[in-house]
Structure 1
Amino acid sequence: MTEQHSHQFDSHQFERGTDGPKVIVVGVDGSDSSLRAAAYAGGLARRQRALLAVVYVQPVMAAGAAFGAPVAETTDEIAENLVQQIREAAERVKGIFDVRWEFHTFRGDPYSGLVKAADELKADAVVVGASEQAGHRIIGSVAVRLVKAGRWPVTVVP
């Protein structure tokens, strides 16, 4: 099993960098600007024949704020609603079905979650929305921190 895994890893590594990004990660939190970011990233993925990895970072509840299962169910419900929203938004984006895409959820704060996602998914580029919506204001600083990390080209979509 490990052999197979490392073989897949090698073939994936071999493909990288031949003609533009191969994996484009887009962070989505359900805000309008993040859905615009997803649409933009979808167009980018289509033109570059890349895999579009749509990432939702599930907030981690503070210890004591949560009593186990109900919170997990709530965040899963949010993720399901987001998948639905993203699919609906995707259907409105012309040609989105030419794009290979995956939906991933990571847990953590938005910055750490996206960094972890970009690392694990071997992102070649990262796209985020610059949302100023209440409750999403943090994503602005997330974009800045991702740029400063300097590990991937970062596109911020207004």
Structure 2
Amino acid sequence: MDGPKVLVVGVDGSTTSLRAGAYAAGLARRQRSRLVVVYVARPGAFVGLAPGAAALAREADHEFAEDLRRQAEEAATSVGLKISFQEVYGDPYTELVRVADEVGADGVIVGASMRAGHRFAGSLAIRLVKTGKWPVTVVP
């Protein structure tokens, strides 16, 4: 087989991440690659301030991830693509690198950051590119 065997795409529900997911699905289908869809839930800054808030936030993140999983699986089925979906918890950069290493990714696909400050301070995509382990595709 010529081309990537395993692709990892990060999704968080943002417009650009959903575009990245669609792009990754099309690429995986055309290249006959395995697609690993990763949702990274992040701990909130104020979660520790209220008793029980961490558990509620975690449950909300899980419900959101399950909705993304359903959407991804439905879209994949409609184009004849098999995917795996991973819900992880932590820093998006750290977790995407970990998952990509674990699955032996040949490429990582993410959506462009919508935050204005990331143009100057750096974004997830820039950090992934600087890692230099695999090609990184950034979808606007």
Relative to the length of structure 1, the TM-score reads 0.74
Larger Rg: 1
SS in 2 for 1:132: coil
Alignment of 1:113-128 (within 5 A): 113-128=95-110
- 2:55 alignment partner in structure 1: 69
1:80 aligns with 2:63: no
CA contact (8 A) 1:59 1:107 kept: yes
Q: What per-residue deviation string (whole Å, max 9, x for no partner) do you get for residues 82-124 of structure 1?
A: 2234356x27xxx853222111111111111111111122211
Q: Matches of 1:44 and 1:113 in 2, distance apart?
A: 22
Percent identity, aligned pairs only, is 57
CA contact (8 A) 1:26 1:127 kept: yes
Q: Matches of 1:143 and 1:101 in 2, distance apart?
A: 22
Q: Matches of 2:98 and 2:89 in 1, distance apart?
A: 9
Q: How many residues align?
A: 134
Q: Mark the runs of 5 or more structure 2 residues left unpaired by the alignment.
A: none
CA RMSD of aligned residues (A): 2.5
Q: Mark the runs of 5 or more structure 1 residues left unpaired by the alignment.
A: 1-17
Bigger relative CO (Cα 8 Å, ≥ 6 apart): 2
1:24 to 7, 28, 32: 7
Q: Matches of 1:29 and 1:22 in 2, distance apart?
A: 23
Alignment of 1:90-109 (within 5 A): 90=75, 97-109=79-91
